[in-house]
Amino acid sequence: MAPDDFAPLLRAGKKRPLWTAGGATHAVDYRRPDIERLLPHRDPFLFVDQITSIDIEQATIAGKRRIDPADPVFAGHFPGAPIYPGVLLLETMGQLGICLSHFIRQSSHEISPGASPADVRALKIHNAIFLAEVCPRDELTILGKLVHDDDATAICAGQIMKGETIAAFAVMEVYFVES
């Protein structure tokens, strides 16, 4: 996909949520043990606490993340006025996008019985913007939308929401090693 293809998505992603629930949206409650079946990440680098909804028709997903004030990153990232690093917000959106790719590739909102973590690598951040600070104790909603999937690579848009406020938005691309 050419960068110009992202222009409408980039404009919208800064102003409103990536998606809203529709008739095909399924509420789910996947927690860390389930998420670990989809992601190769583990603590302290597993940043998706819960998956709350999936919509196969819209190719979208929603999840949750609570920013733990005890996270050691706060000792060195703006001590005295801690701010969660933008690069970790990108990683959070990317992890939820990897989860979304599992559901889209299975055409189901359920985790397949034989699910195992995807062998995936970051390829490119097409665009990223940070619109509001994320601080200790913030409760975040993570939104993801699959933009393109050609079996070897996937492009996903992600958003971090603090209540109704868009804190971060990005479009990123990954490569599936096993493809």
Q: So which residues are the catalytic ones? A: 77
Please give the helix or strand (H or E) that residue 166 lies within, else none: strand 165-176
User: In 3D, which of 121, 122, 133, 130 has the Cα closest to residue 170?
Assistant: 130
* 163-to-53, 112, 120 alpha-carbon distances in Å: 16, 31, 30
User: In 3D, which of 6, 10, 45 has the Cα closest to residue 131?
Assistant: 10
d(CA 73, CA 81): 12
CB 97 within 8 A of CB 158: yes
